[in-house]
Amino acid sequence: MIDIKEKSKCCGCTACKNICPVNAIKMIEDDEGFLYPKVDQKICINCGLCEKVCPITNKLNLKNEMQKAYVVNNKDDQVRMESTSGGAFTAIAEYVISKNGVVFGATFDDEFYVHHTYVENKEELGKFRGSKYVQSDVKECFKETKNFLDSGRLVCFSGTPCQIQGLKKYLQYEYENLITVDVVCRAVPSPLVLKKYIEYQKIKLNVDKFNAIAFRNKEKYGYKYSTMTLKSDNNSYYQGVETDPYLRAFFKNYSDRPACFDCKFRNPNRVSDFTIWDCFTIGEICKELDDNKGTTRVIVHNKKAIEIFNEIKNKFNYEEISMDVATNNVKELKTAPIPNEKRNEFFNDIRILPPDKFFEKYFPDSIKVKVERRIRKIFVHTTLYNKLKKVAKKLINK
Ligand SMILES: Cc1cc2nc3c(=O)[nH]c(=O)nc-3n(C[C@H](O)[C@H](O)[C@H](O)COP(=O)(O)OP(=O)(O)OC[C@H]3O[C@@H](n4cnc5c(N)ncnc54)[C@H](O)[C@@H]3O)c2cc1C
Ligand code: SF4
Ligand code: SF4
Ligand code: SF4
C-alpha cells in the first residue's frame, strides 16, 4: 500500500485515493497545507492497486509519435482577456462541449479554495479560464471522468502534467473519447499560503470579502506584465511579480510543493494530447501576433490532437512553428526550481505568525520594491520598461 516516506515522492495527484476499491485512502493536509494520501490500515485489503497507479513511482509511458507546435491567439477578444495567455484552452474545451462532451478543469469555490470540477455547457467554461497558481484539489474527479468515459461521452480533462499522468495511470486504458490538456508547469504553491495571503490582503485593503481573484490579470498592464488582482465592492488591487507578496513567494520558491523541486514531468514529451503554455517572446517568433493581449504556445502530441486542432484552428490567429522554436529556452520544461533557503522557516512561521507579520517578515515593502513599483507605473506601457527594469535591478543590487 502507498506509504509516503519522502514528501518529494508525492505530487498529490489523487490517483491512489481514487483507485482504492474500499475507500481506505484519504487525502490529508500536512503542516505546509499540501494534501497527501493516508491509508486506513483497518480498511485496507492489501490489493496493491494504489502503488500500481502512482505516476511518481511507476515508469512514464511517453509516446509522442507526431508532434506539431503552434503559437495561437483566440479570435474572441473577451475569451483572450479572461485567459492567461492566448485562450487556447477555451477553444479546445468549446470543441468538446459542441460534441455534447464534458470538460474538467480547475476553479475556485466561494472561499477561493481551488479544486477540480466539470462543466457541460459553454457558458460555464469561464470558471476554468485563467491559471490559478496554487495546487488544485482533484477530489473525486478521476472517478467522475471514468464514469463519463464509460458511458460514451467525450471528456476533456485539463490540469498539471502530474495530474494528467495520474489520471492516465488511474484509468489504465487508452480511451478514444478522452482528450487531455496539460500546462507547462513551473510548480504549484500551497493552498495554505493562498488562504493566509487572502487574510493578509483583507486586513491590508480593509475589506470583508473579495469578489474575484486573478493571478495573471491583463486589464491594467496587458499580457506582458499581467498582475495579481483582487477585487472587492469598493477596491481593486493590481500588483506584479516583483511587488505582490503571493507572487514573490511563488517565484522565489518559498511556497511550492516539495515534489515540484524534483518534478519528473518536466519534459516536452507527454502522455497528454495537448500541452499549452505562455509565449512572452511572441514578438521574436511572429510579429503579427504580438499585440500584448496574450499568446499560447500549443504542442499537439498525436494524430487525435492534430485532427482536433485542424477542426478548431479557424478560432485562432495562429502560426505553425518548429518544436525547437517552441521549446528552446523554455526553462520550465527542463529545470526544476531550487527551494528557497528560507523555505522551512517560512512554513514554520505560517502557522505561528499573524498574516500581516508573516508576509511583512518575508516580503517587506523595501526601497527596492518601491522603486520597482514606481518604474513600472511610469514605463510599463512603453518598450523602455524591460530595459529600465534590468538597469534598476543592477543599481539596487550593487
Ligand atoms: C500551476 C500552473 C503553473 C504554470 N506554470 C507555467 C510556467 O512556468 N510557464 C508557462 O509558460 N506557463 C505556465 N503555466 C501555464 C499558463 O499559465 C497558461 O495556463 C497557459 O498559457 C494556457 O493559457 P490559455 O490562455 O490557453 O488558457 P487558460 O484559459 O488560461 O487555461 C487555464 C487552464 O489551466 C487549468 N488550470 C488553471 N489553474 C490550474 C491549477 N491550479 N491546476 C491545474 N490546472 C489548472 C484550467 O483547468 C484550464 O485548463 C502554468 C499554469 C498553471 C496552472
Ligand atoms: S492496497 Fe488496495 S485497499 Fe489498500 S489502500 Fe491501496 S488500493 Fe486501497
Ligand atoms: S503521487 Fe498521486 S498516486 Fe502517488 S502517492 Fe501521491 S497522490 Fe498517490
Ligand atoms: S511542477 Fe511537476 S510535480 Fe509540481 S505540480 Fe507541476 S507537474 Fe506536478
Q: Are residues 261 and 318 in the same domain?
A: yes
Atom of ligand 2 nearest to the CA of 39: 5
Render pLDDT for 69-102 as a digit per residue (tens, 0 to 9). Answer: 999 999 999 999 999 999 999 999 999 999 999 9
CA distance 265 to 270: 8
Ligand 2, atom 4, lies closest to the CA of: 44
- Higher-confidence residue of 289 and 393: namely 289
- Ligand 1 centroid to Cα of residue 277, in Å, is 7
Asked if the structure places residue 117 within a domain, the reply is: yes
Q: Is the pLDDT of residue 365 over 80?
A: yes
| DSSP designation for 137 | B
Q: Is the pLDDT of residue 49 over 60?
A: yes
Tell which one of 20, 26, 30, 56 to mutate to probe ligand 3, the residue whose CB is within 8 A of the most ligand atoms.
56
Q: Is the pLDDT of residue 377 over 80?
A: no
Ligand 1 touching residue 297 (CB < 6 A):
no
| DSSP designation for 208 | S
- Cβ neighbors of 223 (< 8 A, separation 6 or more) are 85, 280, 292, 293, 294, 295
Q: Is the pLDDT of residue 303 over 60?
A: yes
Average pLDDT, the chain: 93
Q: Are residues 98 and 242 in the same domain?
A: no
Residue 217's CB is within 10 A of a number of other CB atoms, namely 21
Q: Are residues 120 and 181 in the same domain?
A: yes
> Cell 492497486, residue?
49
Q: Is the pLDDT of residue 351 over 60?
A: yes
- Ligand 2 centroid to Cα of residue 41, in Å, is 9
Tell which one of 36, 134, 160 to mutate to probe ligand 4, the residue whose CB is within 8 A of the most ligand atoms.
160
Tell which one of 13, 84, 103, 145 to mutate to probe ligand 1, the residue whose CB is within 8 A of the most ligand atoms.
84
Q: What is the arithmetic mean of pLDDT over 314-335?
A: 95
Q: Are residues 387 and 271 in the same domain?
A: no
Q: Is the pLDDT of residue 161 over 80?
A: yes
Q: Are residues 320 and 360 in the same domain?
A: no
Residue of 259, 254, 260, 246 lying closest to 342 (CA atoms): 254
Asked if the structure places residue 225 within a domain, the reply is: yes
Instruction: Report the pLDDT value the prediction gives residue 368, as an integer from 0 to 100.
Output: 82
The long-range contacts involving 248-253, CB below 8 angstroms and separated by at least 24 positions, are 248/362, 248/363, 249/189, 249/193, 249/197, 249/346, 249/362, 249/363, 250/133, 250/187, 250/189, 252/340, 253/187, 253/337, 253/338, 253/339, 253/340, 253/343
CA dihedral 337, 141, 129, 94 (to 10 degrees): 130
Ligand 3, atom 8, lies closest to the CA of: 16
Asked if the structure places residue 58 within a domain, the reply is: no
Give the percent of the chain with pLDDT over 70.
95
CA distance 307 to 11: 32
Q: Are residues 356 and 237 in the same domain?
A: yes
Render pLDDT for 224-259 as a digit per residue (tens, 0 to 9). Answer: 888 999 999 988 999 988 899 999 999 999 999 999
Q: Are residues 271 and 374 in the same domain?
A: no
Sorting pLDDT into bands at 50, 70 and 90, what band is 395?
Answer: low
Instruction: Report the pLDDT value the prediction gives residue 392, as an integer from 0 to 100.
Output: 57
Q: What is the arithmetic mean of pLDDT over 349-366?
A: 95
Render pLDDT for 1-36 as a digit per residue (tens, 0 to 9). Answer: 999 999 999 999 999 999 999 999 999 999 999 999
25-57 exposure pattern, b = at least 16 Cβ within 10 A, e = fewer: bebeebebbbbbbbbeeeeeeeeebbeebbbbe
Q: Is the pLDDT of residue 135 over 60?
A: yes
CB distance 380 to 225 below 8 Å: yes
pTM of the predicted structure, to 2 decimals: 0.95
| Mean pLDDT lowest among 57-71, 125-139, 315-329 | 57-71
Render pLDDT for 200-226 as a digit per residue (tens, 0 to 9). Answer: 999 999 999 999 999 999 998 899 888
Pairing of the two strands 25-29 and 274-278: unpaired
Asked if the structure places residue 160 within a domain, the reply is: yes
From the number of C-beta atoms within 10 Å of its C-beta (0-12, 13-18, 19+), residue 19 rates as buried
Domain count, the chain: 4
Asked if the structure places residue 60 within a domain, the reply is: no
Sorting pLDDT into bands at 50, 70 and 90, what band is 388?
Answer: low
- Ligand 2 centroid to Cα of residue 48, in Å, is 6
Asked if the structure places residue 318 within a domain, the reply is: yes
Sorting pLDDT into bands at 50, 70 and 90, what band is 60?
Answer: confident
CB distance 225 to 381 below 8 Å: no
Sorting pLDDT into bands at 50, 70 and 90, what band is 382?
Answer: low
- Cβ neighbors of 242 (< 8 A, separation 6 or more) are 248, 369, 372, 373, 376
Instruction: Report the pLDDT value the prediction gives residue 101, as an integer from 0 to 100.
Output: 98
Kindly report the CATH number assigned to the domain that includes residue 18: 3.30.70.20
CB distance 104 to 166 below 8 Å: no
Instruction: Report the pLDDT value the prediction gives residue 61, as an integer from 0 to 100.
Output: 74
Q: Are residues 83 and 37 in the same domain?
A: no
Instruction: Report the pLDDT value the prediction gives residue 225, as an integer from 0 to 100.
Output: 86
Q: What is the arithmetic mean of pLDDT over 300-309?
A: 96
Sorting pLDDT into bands at 50, 70 and 90, what band is 387?
Answer: low
Sorting pLDDT into bands at 50, 70 and 90, what band is 383?
Answer: low
Q: Are residues 232 and 378 in the same domain?
A: no
Ligand 3 touching residue 2 (CB < 6 A):
yes
Instruction: Report the pLDDT value the prediction gives residue 138, as an integer from 0 to 100.
Output: 98
- Ligand 1 centroid to Cα of residue 66, in Å, is 23
Instruction: Report the pLDDT value the prediction gives residue 103, as an integer from 0 to 100.
Output: 98
| Residue ranges making up the domain that contains 16 | 7-52
Q: Are residues 218 and 341 in the same domain?
A: yes
Q: Is the pLDDT of residue 148 over 90?
A: yes
Instruction: Report the pLDDT value the prediction gives residue 300, as an integer from 0 to 100.
Output: 97
Q: Are residues 305 and 157 in the same domain?
A: yes
Render pLDDT for 266-282 as a digit per residue (tens, 0 to 9). Answer: 988 999 999 999 999 99
